[in-house]
Amino acid sequence: MKQIYSKLTSQNVTIFTEMSALALQHNAINLGQGFPDYNPPENLLHLIHQNIFRDIHQYAPMPGNYKLREAISGKIMKSYGTYVHPEKEITITAGATQAIFTAITALIHPGDEVIIFEPAYDAYKPSVEIAGGKCVVYTMQGDDFRIDWNLVKSMISSNTKMIIINSPHNPSATILDDDDMTSLQNVVSGTDIIIISDEVYEHLIFDGAMHKSVLKYPELCSRSLAVFSFGKTFHATGWKIGYITGPDYLMKEFRKIHQWNVFCVNSIIQDALSVYLNEPAHYEYLSDFYQAKRDYFLESIKNTPLKPLKSQGTFFQIVDYSAISHEDDISFVKWMTEKIGVTAIPLSVFYSQKSDQRHIRFCFAKTEKLLDMAGESLSALR
């Protein structure tokens, strides 16, 4: 048999698959993988139900339903004050991860370097490797996961082609502020560096803060592909539908790859979203909605030895468990699943190098009933 040379260095299943299987095996409450346990909005489901009986079951246009792209353009103008051309600068994708993978595949060549910030969403690094690129890792330090942009600037070389940012950030649940975005702008000024901005949690931001999208900063916007997710926004991760925006010269390259690995996305859901998205109230409530869930979960674990870090956005909560155990985080979450009956995700899997931090991630995008059950089980921690 001929030898196969893998494009990826990792041969393991993802931690999400592993921990979800372990949770099922031990009948544990799964607060690990990031998905809600409640349905999308009822009026959105009603629109989709109506569409099932309409004549819209064939291929959608490759860039996406034009009415939906117009609705997205209007939403971006309202949210960020920037006009994005619906025909030239928006493409509907089969989820945000596909958008990120396609963007990297389109723009990264063998030998190109991509700066990523760890802990990082686990899809970034393999996507760069598959394209033949190399990840240059900035490791965020401390419990606040801040970035020293002068250090980032020192990491740039003649091979640096791309920087990937993510705010609100998965897994740390932190956000980039105006100073961060201005600093990033200064870092890339005078270069040809492209930015991918993963903004899938744009509406899940807490305590009165405002999301700082690259779309608000003209110099960044002119070199950025920004990625968004309807699945995260409308509690429908299984739909795998999102979109990407970017200037015409980048979008042309993106679509060259998109047409061959996806071509187009679910026509029925696109049509429903084109109507639903025109009402801002359908997404503007989300900050309050998820902040209430965050606060409810924090209340449920306040009498445990778990030390919560500040969750500024997303539907995740990082906690420090060092008062309970000095085991590594992978061993700890497995023990917690088996003995306590609650599953979390170890933060170390989001790093390239071994981390000595004792941090784990919970997802609080759950009903109050499930959060109550989890809190009661976690109260057994000592």
Query: pLDDT digits over 88-120, tens only?
Result: 999 999 999 999 999 999 999 999 999 999 999
Average confidence score pLDDT of the chain: 95
204 and 346 inside one domain: no
Q: Provide the pLDDT confidence category of residue 180 given band limits of 50, 70 and 90.
A: very high
Domain count, the chain: 2
339 and 243 inside one domain: no
295 and 367 inside one domain: yes
Question: Does residue 12 carry a pLDDT above 70?
Answer: no
pLDDT reported for residue 137: 98
The percent of residues in the chain predicted with pLDDT above 70, rounded, is 99
Q: Among residues 229, 250, 279, which one ends one of the domains?
A: 279
274 and 339 inside one domain: no
232 and 84 inside one domain: yes
Q: Residue 322: which CATH number? A: 3.90.1150.10
231 and 358 inside one domain: no
Question: Does residue 317 carry a pLDDT above 90?
Answer: yes
Residue 233 lies in a domain: yes
Residue 8 lies in a domain: no
Q: Residue 209: which CATH number? A: 3.40.640.10
CA dist 334 to 83, 337, 338, 342, Å?
48, 5, 6, 9
Tell me if residue 19 falls in helix, strand or coil: helix
Residue 2 lies in a domain: no
Q: Provide the pLDDT confidence category of residue 4 given band limits of 50, 70 and 90.
A: confident
Q: pLDDT, tens digit, for every residue of 276-315?
A: 999 999 999 999 999 999 999 999 999 999 999 999 999 9
Residue 231 lies in a domain: yes
Token readout for 190 is 């005078």
pLDDT reported for residue 10: 62
Q: pLDDT, tens digit, for every residue of 215-258?
A: 999 999 999 999 999 999 999 999 999 999 999 999 999 999 99
E-strand ranges in the chain read 29-30, 90-93, 113-118, 134-139, 160-166, 194-198, 224-229, 242-245, 307-308, 316-320, 342-343, 345-346, 359-363
pLDDT reported for residue 282: 97
Tell me the average pLDDT across 316-329: 97
Q: Which amino acid is at 332?
A: F
Q: What is the C-alpha separation between 230 and 48, in angstroms, rounded?
A: 14
Q: Among residues 229, 247, 279, which one ends one of the domains?
A: 279
Q: What is the C-alpha separation between 109 and 98, in angstroms, rounded?
A: 18
Q: pLDDT, tens digit, for every residue of 329-371?
A: 999 999 999 999 999 999 999 999 877 789 999 999 999 999 9
Question: Does residue 11 carry a pLDDT above 60?
Answer: no
pLDDT reported for residue 141: 86
Backbone angles phi, psi at 149, to 5 degrees: -70, -25
105 and 177 inside one domain: yes
Structural domain boundaries enclosing 143: 58-279
pLDDT reported for residue 114: 98
pLDDT reported for residue 247: 98
pLDDT reported for residue 175: 98
Q: Is 301 exposed, middle or buried (0-12, 13-18, 19+ CB in 10 A)?
A: buried
- Cα angle 61-63-67, degrees, rounded to a multiple of 5: 70
Report whether the peptide linkage leading into residue 63 is cis, meaning its omega lies within 30 degrees of zero.
Answer: no
70 and 115 inside one domain: yes
The widest CA-to-CA distance across the chain, in whole angstroms, is 60
Task: Please choose, from the candidates 379, 239, 204, the residue with its C-alpha nearest in 3D space to the C-alpha of residue 303.
Answer: 379
Q: pLDDT, tens digit, for every residue of 148-177?
A: 999 999 999 999 999 999 999 999 999 999
Question: Does residue 9 carry a pLDDT above 70?
Answer: no
pLDDT reported for residue 356: 79
Q: Among residues 257, 279, 301, which one ends one of the domains?
A: 279
148 and 107 inside one domain: yes
Question: Does residue 16 carry a pLDDT above 80?
Answer: yes
Q: What is the C-alpha separation between 262 and 372, in angstroms, rounded?
A: 41
Q: pLDDT, tens digit, for every residue of 19-42?
A: 999 999 999 999 998 889 999 999
254 and 339 inside one domain: no
Q: pLDDT, tens digit, for every residue of 41-51?
A: 999 999 999 99
274 and 171 inside one domain: yes
